[in-house]
Structure 1
Amino acid sequence: MANKEWTAISCRVLQNCLGLKENEQVLIVADDKKKEIGEALYEAAKQLGAEALLMVMQERQKSGEEPPQTVSEAMKQADVAVCVTEHSLTHTQARKQAVAAGTRVATMPGITPDMFLEGAIAADYQQVKELTDKVTGYLTRGRQVKIVKDGCELNFSIEGRPGVPSTGVYLNPGESGNLPSGEAYIAPLEGTASGKILVDGSIAGIGKIDAPLLLTVEDGRLVSAEGPAGEKLLSMLGEQDGRLLGEFGIGTNDKARITGVVLEDEKVYGTIHVAFGSNVTFGGTVQAGVHIDLVVNQPDVYIDDVKLLDKGRMMV
């Protein structure tokens, strides 16, 4: 896999998105399933003159589960860390602590060879950054969110919470996010969400869904999931705080596609996503050991009195 094309893409990602410089310490964290992509990034880092280290760990059971302590410690020591894993390390204390220590961190949960060569990775990241920063501003200033689609409506408060930009460009100490990227997201105020939302894109850990999933939320908690994927989703989230609404996000990458891998799906321009579970790493209070994203195509979204999305079309 680590042929010339792979190495060239890896070099471009490390330079353009992470600003990797000669002699910087770069850590590539991979699991057994994503080892080949990890190796391509490791080879590229060496070519760029960095002090490169590749750590391969056992695959985690679910997104949001912590890596081994040795990996967590190494992430804090590096200038740059890239996490290429089947399940996401984005919402872990390991990533949060590495960022606090000044590490530039990019997470690539579930990335596939196709995604590495095509789609969202090929976006103009300056353009993505501009739109992402603009949408993040609306989230940060906003108080109330309303999502409307096919007769379903979900409302929740975001008052006092900071919007988070995932721009795909992480050049300064302590900046982090997904790659490929392009989303603005926020932690809704716990306990405020109520209503219904129709999920028709994809679900992390399940993939593209053939039939829509109707979710009912009361007092910030998922109380039912109607549809073929419902039982599996509830099982993945568990009975406890995994069922609390933890995230609301808006995709800002016009090159991203719905592939069944949520890393790319949640970045698609014209989609939104909600997640249940942990949000303590980006401004919330939920610490559940699980974080599952669900993607919705072409909704209407209102922030306070401003219509931000009209059937997926950005209005700002």
Structure 2
Amino acid sequence: ASKRNIKGVNLGNGLYPTEASAKQFGMTQKELSDLFWKGVNVDYSKLEATGKTVQAVLAAGKEVQITNPNGTDLKVRIEKRPVIVSDGVLSADDLKKGFASSQVYLPAGEAYLAPVPGSAEGKVVVDHQFYQGKEITGLTLTFKAGKLTSMTAKSGLEPLKKLYDAAEPGKEEFAFVDLGLNPNVQLKAGSKLGAWMPAGMVTVGIGNNMWAGGENKNAYSLFSFLPGSTLKVDGKVLVENGMLKN
């Protein structure tokens, strides 16, 4: 599909309102459904404009720093890395750029990139991580020279650690930074719901990053949502305590 630039659509984007998902996130199915459709019915022209603004900031930047009161403090280099915007609209230009830019995720609203390989330094603390339907609390990922050097958690780590240990080399490489842009998807404070697109959400991951314009083809991937984080580009605040500044 990537060679012929066939358009790809992902309906749900991790937010599809199934009964199981709603239960996992402590919501009714109707609440999750309302949130999902509100996200789909966003003003796409405004979303596109927001995406272009954020894309310009990231494209001109050299370093991203992500911090959070929970102990997260991570820096990655981003200079000369392509920045992809998922705004629900596929332009002719998107299709020319190939696979990574020719995917649509609904509800839409993300800007993402694969940082300079080997550049991630610091740690990420994930308060709530759902893995195979089970909750992991206090997941802490430590990075040095772009590679994961330590993975610990307060509880629930075993299933994740088992699959990670069995995966091929390349699994340990820091993969991407993703920013949510959709103002219609708002999560309640303290919500365990993990979603990519809420405006101000910061998501990071390890392993495969082909979808984000990277070069890591590893079969393994792991992503973690970091709600309430602050993200700076060359010292300038782009996301403050989970709120997108643009």
Give the TM-score range, shorter chain.
Answer: 0.7 to 0.9
Larger Rg: 1
**1:279 aligned onto 2:209:** yes
Report the residue type matching 2:86 in the other structure: S
Bigger share in helix: 1
Match of 1:181 in 2: 108
1:125 aligns with 2:44: yes
> What residue is the counterpart of 1:34 in the other structure?
none
CA separation of 1:313 and 1:285: change in aligned 2, threshold 3 A: same
Map of 1:105 onto structure 2:
8
* 8 A contact 1:200–1:295 mirrored in 2: no
**One-letter amino acid matched to 1:256:** V
What does residue 247 of structure 1 align with?
176
Matched, 1:166 2:117: no
Change in 2 beyond 3 A, CA 1:218/1:230: farther
Choose which of 150, 164, 167 in structure 2 pairs with 1:224: 150
Query: Residue 229 and residue 184 in structure 1: after superposition, are their counterparts in 2 closer, same or farther (change >3 A)?
Result: farther
Shift of 1:207: 5.5
TM-superposed CA distance for 1:187, in Å, is: 0.1
Q: CA deviation at 1:236?
A: 3.6
The superposition leaves residues 100-146 of structure 1 with CA deviations (integer Å, 9 ceiling, x where unpaired) of 42322212355334556543223222222221221122222211111
Which structure exhibits the higher relative contact order, with contacts defined as CA atoms closer than 8 Å and separated by 6 or more residues? Answer: 2
Equivalent residue number for residue 299 of structure 1 = 229
TM-score relative to the length of structure 1: 0.61
Q: Which runs of 5+ in 2 are unaligned?
A: 19-28, 96-101
**Partners of 2:128 and 2:137 within 8 A in 1:** no
CA contact (8 A) 1:105 1:177 kept: yes
If the length of structure 2 is used for normalisation, what is the TM-score? 0.77
Residue 209 of structure 1 and its aligned partner are, at CA, apart by 4.4
Number of the residue aligned with 2:160: 233
Is 1:214 aligned to 2:140, yes or no?
yes
1:269 positional shift? 1.7
Distance 1:154 1:116 in 2: 34
What is the aligned-residue RMSD (CA, Å)? 2.6
Q: Distance in 1 between matches of 2:132 and 2:193?
A: 9
Alignment check: 8 A CA contact 2:181 2:244 kept: no
Aligned partner of residue 226 in structure 2, secondary structure: strand
Looking at structure 2, the residues matched to 183 and 304 of structure 1 have their Cα atoms a distance apart, in angstroms, of 20
Deviations 1:173-227 (A, max 9, x none): 7232311111100001111111111113545x44684633221111211222221
SS of 2:54's equivalent in the other structure is helix
C-alpha distance in 1 between matches for 2:156 and 2:225: 13
Closer, same or farther: CA 170–146 of 1 in aligned 2, 3 Å: same
Aligned identity (percent) is 25
What aligned pairs does 1:3-22 form with structure 2 within 5 A after superposition?
none
CA shift at 1:232, angstroms? Answer: 3.0
Quote the Cα distance in structure 2 between the aligned partners of 1:275 and 1:200.
15
Contact 1:208–1:260 (CA<8 Å) still a contact in 2? Answer: no
Separation (CA, whole Å) in 2 of partners of 1:142 and 1:132: 15
Give me the whole-angstrom Cα distance separating, in 2, the residues matched to 1:201 and 1:256: 19
Q: 8 Å contact 1:202–1:296 — kept in the other structure?
A: no
Number of aligned positions between the proteins: 216
1:296 & 1:218 partners in 2: Cα distance? 19
